[in-house]
Amino acid sequence: MITVIDSILNRITMYRLVLYELLFLVASACALGFFGVIAYSPAALLYSGGVIFFTAWIANEIFAYFFDAPSNPESTYLTALILVLIITPPHTLYDIAFLSIAIPAALLAVASKYVVAIHKKHIFNPAAFGVAGTALLLGSAASWWIGTPWMIPSVLVGGLLVVRKLRRFDLFFAYLAAFLVGLFAFNYQKSLYLIATITIPHALFYAPVFFFATVMLTEPLTMPHTKWLRVAYGALIGLLFVPQVHIGSWYLTPELALLFGNVFAYIVSPKEKLILTLLKKIRISHSVYEFVFANPYPLLFSAGQYLEWTLPHTSPDAQGHPAWREIL
């Protein structure tokens, strides 16, 4: 069974898999809303998606043009879908509370990929940056409404496939273990019975713990690449995710926990985006081509290090844009 699952996962890129998962979560939420299980109707969810998608798409086109930078539309779609799942859907067509967070959050999320970037590489998880920005600048916070017991089965079905695809169970379990240890540490004055029967179940099932761990924490571009740094990264964010963690009177939110983790990841594992210029394409055989690129970057490397390249094109299939790994 696992072999079959791995065979299917190997045919799909990470971006495309996460896209399918998020669409599945939105569809699941629409079904639950239709039957009145959750408080948001399918119309409200679809309207939320339309507003956020349109804002994110327009913003991405504008920033890509002015920064003269290549853009990955799938990345924009993922960011928009995550925002749909964490920002409270509107109650009416002109719900000011919704519009005042959805539009600025989508703008800030996309902007972070271009503006808050070093060597053309964004540092922060875009969706987390977007909702953190609206909370700090406008006082409009994300509700993370997906953190409900009714959504957990759908979250785990898709989320664990993503973790399996990326082979990041070390990160997932480090985060979860640190989160549980943090809960015990902040609730040590309670009896073990209360912690085990009330505190932990409530924290796991009425907060976006599993969605956060499988979708946002696992973003490859903002996590360290080596195993033990990933474990430290997951543990740090797991501790910061505990609801009682605060700095003075300032309590951390899920998005702030992730942003602090992103800073840690960049310090211990800095990355940059390199863009090569295609010089020529040589046909080797009927279905094999050789691509020759100009490389203006001097490379200093150790044996075993690698670079990952993506070749964008206008008609990606189910596997998305082709990518390959070059061992140095």
d(CA 294, CA 45): 46
pLDDT band, very low/low/confident/very high, at 312 (cuts 50, 70, 90): low
Q: Smallest Cα–Cα separation from 216: which of 252, 256, 179?
A: 256
Residue 106 has pLDDT above 90, yes or no: yes
Residue 325 has pLDDT above 50, yes or no: no
Q: Give the 3-state secondary structure of residue 317.
A: strand
d(CA 99, CA 95): 6
Q: Give the 3-state secondary structure of residue 324.
A: strand
Residue 267, CA distances (Å) to 175, 211, 262 in order: 19, 25, 9
The share of the chain scoring above pLDDT 90, in percent, equals 58
Beta strands in 59-122 (DSSP E): 117-118, 121-122
How many CB atoms lie under 10 A from the CB of residue 28?
Answer: 19
Residue 30 has pLDDT above 80, yes or no: yes
How confident is the model over 316-327, as a mean pLDDT? 50
d(CA 124, CA 226): 18
pLDDT band, very low/low/confident/very high, at 313 (cuts 50, 70, 90): low
Residue-wise pLDDT tens digits, 112-143: 999 988 877 789 999 999 999 999 999 999 99
How confident is the model over 282-287, as a mean pLDDT? 85
* The residue type at 320: G
pLDDT band, very low/low/confident/very high, at 306 (cuts 50, 70, 90): low
pLDDT of residue 19: 94
pLDDT of residue 147: 95
Residue 159 has pLDDT above 60, yes or no: yes
pLDDT of residue 317: 54
Q: Give the 3-state secondary structure of residue 121.
A: strand
Residue 98, CA distances (Å) to 19, 82, 95, 129 in order: 23, 15, 5, 17
Residue-wise pLDDT tens digits, 59-93: 999 998 888 776 778 889 999 999 999 999 999 98
Instruction: Report the half-sphere exposure of 188 (CA within 13 A, side-chain side).
Output: 4
Residue 38 has pLDDT above 70, yes or no: yes
Q: Which two tokens stand for residue 278?
A: 């295609």
Residue 278, CA distances (Å) to 67, 290, 299, 321 in order: 20, 11, 18, 16
Q: Which two tokens stand for residue 292?
A: 């020759």
| Dihedral sign computed on CA atoms, order 14, 20, 25, 28 | negative
Q: Angle at which helices 96-114 and 42-66 pack, to 10 degrees? A: 30
Residue 316 has pLDDT above 60, yes or no: no
Largest CA distance in the chain: 71
Burial class (CB in 10 A: 0-12, 13-18, 19+), 205: middle
Angle at alpha carbon of residue 26, lines to 234 and 240, rounded to 5° = 20
C-alpha gyration radius of the chain: 21
Question: Highest-confidence range of 50-54, 240-244, 277-281, by mean pLDDT?
Answer: 50-54
| Adjacent-strand bridge partners of 172 | none
Its pTM stands at 0.87
pLDDT of residue 118: 80
Work out the mean pLDDT of the chain and round it to a whole number: 88
Place of tokens 């003269």: 68
pLDDT of residue 324: 47
